Amino acid sequence: MRAGAGPAAAVSPLDRLLAAARIVLPPEILKAGQPASDLTPSGAPLEAAFVWADSEPGCDPRISLDPAPGAQPESRLEAALSLCRAVSGTEPAPDVLRLAKRLSCWQQRAGCRYGAWAGLRQGEAGGLAAKLYLEVATVSDAKGRPLWAAFEERLAGAPPVLAGRNLRPTMAGLTPDGGLLELYYRTAPLFPGDLDTLMRRFGLAPRGQEVRRLVERLTGRSVRFEIPSSDIGFSVAFRMAGEGRSRRAHACAFTFYSNAAALLGPDARIADALLAEGAARGWDMTAYRQAFAACDTWHSEGEVPLQRHGLIGMVLALEAPPRVTATLALPGYQREPGHG
């Protein structure tokens, strides 16, 4: 299982991550003939995220995966938790298990699309590090207030803003030790200034203009009003400290996301924009270039290829340079054209 375009391709950081991940990956996700996954538009159960920064050499890849393609959300959650245990060698922290149970109950009450994913990246000590992703279902109390509202406001530490933008959390990402929690949101179209309003709510410095400039470079057009994408969102990462009722969250990063196709169009246009940005900023695009080239082998001549890119984003972290990220479905299983 390699992202490279062929046996002669140089081994990239993504190849090394995939080689290490293969040991812990559920074997069924690598088998042909498995049900299509909801993780990617193409139905692939594996997706790579590439992360680049101007002041850092190389590329910092990570992978997201559907641990049980075609399974019920409860089974996906158990499979994702099992993978986290296999990677860390320990049981997830009690706070993580409690939140997983809480969100799973919401999913069962309101229905959900997938329930849980898992993520892998290289750890600081050279091994693997895992992340658990939990779908936040929309379920309301007797007064019609979403159950996630109190949870979200407690994390933010401030009342909601931009009431007319239809902000709603859709997923939570947690490290198994409970030290980091990332909340992902969907939203109606935003103006660059709205990003500053959101960042201030979470106690972060307003940096919306950095997002605007990236979008302008990628699209080749001036952004004077709304960000030109019909499908956008953001996430806020929190450092967690303390136990029980004394547990506190401190925002440490804000990430703007757009569906790549909604922002830039077909895969080829997305790749051209990312490669041009990488060349201008001196990024190492080797792993991304190899993975994207491998996509050309996924369909027969004359067949319309399925969308491979997922998201494009910009990570704005405390005391760190901005990072740009893009996700790409990895070679392997794909949804049959015209289905799903």
- pLDDT over threshold 60, residue 211: yes
Dihedral in degrees, nearest 10, Cα atoms 316, 219, 186, 161: 60
* CA-based torsion, 94, 157, 49, 281: positive or negative: negative
Give the pLDDT mean for 132-158.
Answer: 92
Arithmetic mean of pLDDT over the chain = 89
pLDDT bracket for residue 98 (50, 70, 90) = very high
- pLDDT over threshold 70, residue 305: no
- pLDDT over threshold 50, residue 336: no
Report whether 133 contacts 164 (CB < 8 A): no
Cα of 158 vs its chain's centroid, Å:
25
pLDDT bracket for residue 5 (50, 70, 90) = very low
Q: How far apart are CA 193 and CA 208, in angstroms?
A: 6
Burial of 11 (C-beta count, 10 Å sphere; 0-12/13-18/19+): middle
Which segments of 24-94 are extended strands (E)?
Answer: 46-53, 62-65
Least confident of 49-63, 172-186, 295-309: 295-309
Percent of the chain past pLDDT 90, that is, above it, reads 70
**pLDDT at residue number 243:** 73
**pLDDT at residue number 179:** 95
Q: Give the residue from 86, 102, 91, 89 showing the smallest Cα distance to 26.
A: 86
Q: pTM of this prediction? A: 0.91
The secondary element (H helix, E strand) that includes residue 324 is strand 323-329
Report whether 133 contacts 169 (CB < 8 A): no
Q: Give the residue from 168, 178, 173, 212 showing the smallest Cα distance to 193.
A: 212
Q: Is 88 helix (H, G, I), strand (E, B) or coil?
A: helix
**pLDDT at residue number 265:** 96
Helix axes 94-110, 73-88, angle to 10 degrees: 170
Least confident of 8-22, 92-106, 117-131: 8-22
Helix axes 286-294, 267-281, angle to 10 degrees: 160
**pLDDT at residue number 244:** 66
Q: How far apart are CA 132 and CA 206, in angstroms?
A: 28
Return the higher-pLDDT residue of 170 and 124. 170
Burial of 196 (C-beta count, 10 Å sphere; 0-12/13-18/19+): middle
Exposed e or buried b per residue across 101-129, where buried means at least 16 C-beta atoms within 10 angstroms of its C-beta: eebbebbeeeebebbbbbbbbbeeeeebb
Return the higher-pLDDT residue of 117 and 33. 117
Q: How far apart are CA 134 and CA 36, in angstroms?
A: 19
- pLDDT over threshold 70, residue 277: yes
**pLDDT at residue number 55:** 80
138 C-beta neighbours (distance < 10 Å), count: 15
pLDDT bracket for residue 320 (50, 70, 90) = confident
